[in-house]
Structure 1
Amino acid sequence: MIRVLVADDQALLRGSFRLLIDSEDDLVVVGEAADGHQAVALARTESPDVVLMDVRMPEMDGIAATKEIASDTRVLILTTFDLDEYVYAALRAGASGFLLKDAPPDDLLRAIRVVASGETLIAPSVTTRLIAEFVRRPPAQRVFHGLDNLTDREREVLTLIAHGLSNAELGSQLQLSPGTVKTHIGRLLAKLRARDRAQLVIAAYEAGLVKPG
């Protein structure tokens, strides 16, 4: 059972999310938060697998709340087209996924499952503008190190990750076993001090392995 905490300042949306999530056999809502402070407190007491986090909330916004809990709990950020700057900040804060608020219900349920499984999910419509925002930042604001220490194979794997390939697709394209793919990804995470695949994508753009658009 995947335990979900819903954080949104609109009671109607929280209720809608709860009804949708609780309708699934493998998902359950373990709490609702109306602001960032409540989200942080409930994340610590209820130990959810995923926090469904709105960005704009009173008292403490979703970015600050994500920064408080992302080291222990996976966070799926809900965003809109006009909040790309918040998406970038959420990535830096440690969010594991980003989904548009107008996404179909099935996409939301899938996103929760993907993030809970340890993968990273970024809505395709968000990705280009997210990356463009990142590469405009001065180098001093970028946080990844170790790019010069990657092997040719690791750079190849990193490039394909940035293009959105799954582990299975990586193995098929590079003719590698599933275990070898996981080993390469583990080494990339360690060398780049990245938390998850989302940060590996950013590292690939920083290294110039792929470019926006």
Structure 2
Amino acid sequence: MDNDVFRSFTTVPGVYAAQVDARGVLVRASQQLYRRLGCQPDDLHGRYLHDVVQRDGLRGETIIVMVAPDQQRTQRPDAIKYRKILTKMDSRILEGVAAGVPTAKLAGMVELSRGGVEYHVTNLLRKLRAPNRTSLVSKAYAEGILAAGTWPPKVVPDFVK
């Protein structure tokens, strides 16, 4: 991660910056965060950021979190053959979920029942190994399934069968 970008977040008083890996494990943090917690970098390195926030008293404070790219995942040569994981219906439903469309309205948009939409959402949760809709959308952006910087959200065609 670019050190200048990381440092720019640490100049604002009362704002703490942390960099985590894809699993949410702390890679590094701003000096302000270490001082606020009264610890050294070695005390936090390797801990889950969620645990640090919950157990070390950072509730209600501003923390800018940056996720380090997973080098191993981006260099996998077999990644291309596993890309087409969504049906056309899955992609339409994922776009609707990412846009925050309620289930009943989404059902009307894709011409399914509410149960049909829920069925597809459940399959998407399973395919992306996400516990809930918020995580589903987050993982879809992280995996590059949803195109970054577009509104309404759009699935990248390379992921559709």
Q: In which range does the TM-score fall when normalised by the shorter chain? A: 0.3 to 0.5
Output the TM-score relative to the length of structure 1: 0.36
- Select the structure that is richer in strand: 1
- Select the structure that is richer in helix: 1
Output the TM-score relative to the length of structure 2: 0.45
| Structure of higher RCO (CA pairs closer than 8 Å, 6+ residues apart) | 2
Structure with max Cα Rg: 2
